[in-house]
Amino acid sequence: MAEPKENVLMEKIVSLCKRRGFIFQSSEIYGGINGFWDYGPLGAELKRNVKELWWNTMTRQRDDVAGLEATIIMSPQIWKASGHVDTFSDPMCDCKGCKKRFRADQIEPSSGVVFHFYGAEDRSMNKALLDQLLADKSEEEQRKGKERYLELLKEERDADILKEELETHLRSGIPEVRDAAADKLRQLDSLERCTEHFAVLLPHGKPRESAEKKASVFFQQKGIKVPRFSAVRTENVENTVSYCNDCGCELTAPRPFNLMFKTYVGPVESEDNVAYLRPETAQAIFAQFKNVLETSRQRVPFGIAQVGKAFRNEVTPRNYTFRSREFEQMELEFFIKPDEVVEAIKGRVTPGAELDTRHPALDTSSWGWEAWHKYWVEQRIAFYEGIGLSRATLEEYWQKPEELAHYARACVDILFKFPFGTQELEGIAARSDFDLSQHARFSGKPMGVFDEELRAAWGKLPKEKSDDLWRRYYENRKKYLVKMGVEAEQAAKDATNDANGLAKGQYIPHVIEPSAGVDRLILALICNAYSEVTETDDKGKSETTVVMKFHPRVAPIKVGVMPLLKNKPELVKKAQEVRDLLRPWMNVFYDDAGSIGRRYARQDEAGTPFCVTIDFDTLGEKPELKDTVTIRYRDDGKQERLAIGELLNWLLPKIR
């Protein structure tokens, strides 16, 4: 089995996805739209399976997680509270030449010679002004003036000459001439010159003209019709990231670029009506925290899960669907007690290192944030393993303290080894009580919970212990408030109130957030499934076919059902019976077109794990095989016989 080289591999995957209907470019008939992708028939099934498996694993198969389905457009206050309005941005640079936009952190360093152009003046404009200037002179005077002008133009001093001319006119006894000259001098200063700096990086050995050409275009765009550069300087540079990777022209300084798509709610396009397409699904969960808590009869620790669309106006969408502008997320916010609360109730917090969270003890009551965080990392990796991404294809990246958001205590990225590099599939963050606290402050609605166990336990704590817990809780709250810009005295007052709440059984839950992208997972599953088989026939002719080795749980089609021949009505009838038997339970593809080998190959490419063939033995040609079918396995091509009556029970555990 051949393993195609990485870059070629990605091209093959993209082409297969289009050919077999996994993924299409959005709006393809109009040339596409960058960063947007559609899922074709097979892709739509794959995606649906992945979302359903996530939903089942995270909500239905647990007692402690409830679901939510919120709107995409929400109150813009949500994005102010979450920090997205102020800080959800990438630093971005524009190329002054080709106008392409780049993420500042994605510019490749380059070396060579930089040509600096310190402004330019317009020769054509100078000439036009001179013509006007001479317009009221005699023919002879004009001829002489022009000749002199053109002479001096060759010496590249045209602006100076003009100025000289104009300055003599300023001394004219006729007021109209003086005014016109003053006017033209002003034009000369403002219109004819561009003093902006522009620079081009050329690889060593490339001719200077190439830089001048680019600089001419730049100054022409600034209104200088026939530019003459005021001054040029060259400089050797190494590994600079200040120049365009495509054309070598200078980049603007990095500026923050907000990634949220803006729109207006209602008919009036005013600032008061601005709204955003959500850049993540998580914030709705925080905003609805109280409603879910009250209606689901959950108690902390518990989670709220949501699957849905998110939108980010990514500066440089790339790597196929990996970084898209419209995508889907599967997010869980798992609310937990702050460590001080756990300690007050249980006497201690189980250190994360002590836990084997793959086999968690039934009693999680002494788990603090560290244990829950570790638990969710393991749960999520187990989920990926359960749908065919082995641990060997994944990596855990524990963010370093300096990489963490100020409110986060830890964050682990689960990375997948894509053909274009090892990149993030999901982030699992311990986000403290930041999100609920922010929404409490911005909405004015309390986001804390009441815990009778805490209230009862607090009353029984030795004073030394309760003082210690009080102080730790107070310090954390104050630190958060000060960080958010609350004035020190007020922050101390508010933090005191919050810490006093502990004695009454009140606290703001902390949260662990496993946040996964559906589209990145689909791409990972497709890359992981892709394999090629080359077979050589008796005549030495070899053929390579693609087998998409999806785990049966995610495979778009679970089973292909095929009559051996399509022109034998008994075979067709029986095959249709088998199809109808399975169809209520799974996605079945009925195929009677072409040779059986071709039909198998088609299903291999679609990633169908099993094919069922109805042949003459099924009809009873060999009586002992009556009502049995052939099951063919996609991955090794092996076949075995199975009674039709057993088929459903045989298939179901494999695909669920």
**Contact footprint for ligand ATP (CB under 6 A):** 280, 312, 314, 323-324, 327, 329, 424-427, 515-517, 519-520
In the complex with ligand ATP, which residue's Cβ is closer, 275 or 516? 516
In the complex with ligand ATP, which residue's Cβ is closer, 329 or 438? 329
User: Nearest distance from residue 466's CB to ligand ATP, in Å?
Assistant: 37
Residue nearest to ligand ATP (CB): 517
Distance (Å, rounded) from C-alpha 386 to C-alpha 377? Answer: 14
Residue 609 near residue 550 (C-beta atoms within 8 A) = yes
Tokens, residue 382: 């187990």
In the complex with ligand ATP, which residue's Cβ is closer, 448 or 517? 517
Q: What is the DSSP letter of 60?
A: I
In the complex with ligand ATP, which residue's Cβ is closer, 197 or 262? 262
User: Nearest distance from residue 438's CB to ligand ATP, in Å?
Assistant: 16
Distance (Å, rounded) from C-alpha 257 to C-alpha 265? Answer: 22
User: Nearest distance from residue 239's CB to ligand ATP, in Å?
Assistant: 24
User: Nearest distance from residue 302's CB to ligand ATP, in Å?
Assistant: 21
User: Nearest distance from residue 426's CB to ligand ATP, in Å?
Assistant: 5
SS3 content of the chain, % helix, strand, coil (to 5): 45, 25, 30
Q: Which residues contact 119 (CB under 8 A, 6 or more apart)?
A: 193, 194, 195, 196, 197, 229, 230, 231
User: Nearest distance from residue 591's CB to ligand ATP, in Å?
Assistant: 34
Residue 68 near residue 288 (C-beta atoms within 8 A) = yes
User: Nearest distance from residue 204's CB to ligand ATP, in Å?
Assistant: 35
In the complex with ligand ATP, which residue's Cβ is closer, 81 or 571? 81
Helix (H) / strand (E) element for 385: namely: helix 369-386
Of 563, 636, 639, 634, which is closest to residue 605 (Cα–Cα)? 634
Tokens, residue 471: 């102080």
In the complex with ligand ATP, which residue's Cβ is closer, 432 or 515? 515
Omega before residue 301 within 30° of 0, cis: yes
Count of C-beta atoms within a 10 Å radius of residue 569: 10
The residue type of 304 is I
User: Nearest distance from residue 260's CB to ligand ATP, in Å?
Assistant: 12
CB environment 99-127: b (16+ within 10 A), e (fewer): eeebbbeebeebebbbbbbebbbbbebbb
Burial label for 348, CB within 10 Å (0-12, 13-18, 19+), is: exposed
In the complex with ligand ATP, which residue's Cβ is closer, 518 or 655? 518
User: Nearest distance from residue 647's CB to ligand ATP, in Å?
Assistant: 37
In the complex with ligand ATP, which residue's Cβ is closer, 515 or 613? 515
The residue type of 159 is A
In the complex with ligand ATP, which residue's Cβ is closer, 518 or 559? 518
